[in-house]
Amino acid sequence: MSAAPIAVESEVGLRGDTFAIWSALVNATASWSELSSGLFRDLDWPKLIEAAEYHGVLPIVCQRVLQSPLPRTMAPEVLDQLRRRFHADLVRSVPLIGKVGRVVEAFDREGLPIIPYKGPVLAQQLWGDPTLRVCDDLDFLVEKRSVEQAGVLLDRLGYRRVSPIARHLQAALLRNASEEQFQHRETGLLLELQWSPAPRVLAVRYEPDQVWRRLMSIPFAGGSALAPSPEDLLMLLSIHGWKHNWNRLLWLGDIAQLLRSSDLDWDRLIHDCRLQRHVRLLSLALRMTNRVYGVTVPEPFAFDDPALDRLVDELVNRMTTISPCSYRDWHRCMLAARDSQIDRMRQMTTFFFTPGLADYDACKLPAWATAGYRLVRLGRLVLHARGRPQE
């Protein structure tokens, strides 16, 4: 079963605020005949630019506007600002394409599978242009069993571990964490090496090996790159958005583009989600994409769930107003998307008592005191309880 065609909301259905404007611009199915000039009358362009930058969609908005009839009616200073911002993002993004290509080529020579995740490759795959996704770092997926070998290879390429840990903690790191950060010695570019979509503290029941069993190859930078299947990519993007409380419009745009361009196997998705207890988590992502982009929620995930609909209202409102998220709300919203009370209790338990990379890095305990990292974890949570989650 495939997703229904994605349609732009009618002009009547679009709210008369900045959020509606940039949502319409980002939606690639929008033709300018469907969006009258009245939708952009008296628009606060500086506010739009600021919000679009926060949400990671500024290059897409700039491209859409500059390719449209709008420049004929825009103030010269606003048009000049859009052009300058678009060029600045282009200058920043182009070098990253080559850097991704060099990492992929080096791993390919070693026979070590690696997936360039998000960043330029996802921009090429979903938006048709590797420069349309702003990123400050590079993300790659590797198999858990290959992390150590991948670290050695990255070191040869000039990347060093940001937070190296003692050898006796490495097995625990692979078990509890989901990624390590590397930084290029000369350029300072950050690279995240991931082996799971979420750390163990979030109690995500997801088997990363399934990604590697269903790989596909996509064209990139004159060559090719490995990529997850559309179904696996949808789950990876949905888990990523969920663990960050869906505070970026770009993440929903990625999902809308994926549904638009792929014929997904929804029977397999609902089977996997029921097995891994992610039905409501994926349904949340699809409902939010429906709310913002008009994507039809496929039948297996369109079940009646007032609590989930209220969560969509809250998250979309927070996204619209760019409202801060408290530490407590971050947890509450993640827990609200779990399939059952048992899943919520499991997440709370693992979150409080499972140390991760930041805990290992915060306090250097000797090997005989490794169990003490549970206390380090609790202590750090108490200290950060009043703050916002890391994004």
Domain of 275: which CATH number? 3.30.460.40
Between 380 and 288, the higher pLDDT residue: 288
pLDDT at 20: 66
Q: For residue 242, tell me if it sits in a domain.
A: yes
Per-residue pLDDT, averaged over 190-203, amounts to 94
Q: For residue 5, tell me if it sits in a domain.
A: no
Local confidence band at 84 (pLDDT 50, 70, 90 cut-offs): very high
Q: For residue 341, tell me if it sits in a domain.
A: yes
Verdict on whether the full-model pTM lies above 0.85? yes
Q: Give the model confidence (pLDDT) of 249-273 as tens digits.
A: 899 999 999 998 899 999 999 999 9
Q: How many domains does the structure of the chain reveal?
A: 1
How many Å apart are CA 59 and CA 106, to the nearest integer? 29
What proportion of the chain, given as a percentage, has pLDDT over 70? 88
pLDDT reading at 40 higher than 80:
no
What angle (nearest 5°) sits at the alpha carbon of residue 291, between those of residues 49 and 347?
100
pLDDT at 199: 92
Per-residue pLDDT, averaged over 120-138, amounts to 90
Q: For residue 6, tell me if it sits in a domain.
A: no
Parent domain of 172:
11-384
pLDDT reading at 21 higher than 80:
no
Q: For residue 311, tell me if it sits in a domain.
A: yes
How, if at all, do strands 159-161 and 190-194 pair? unpaired
* Tokens at 125, concatenated: 């795959």
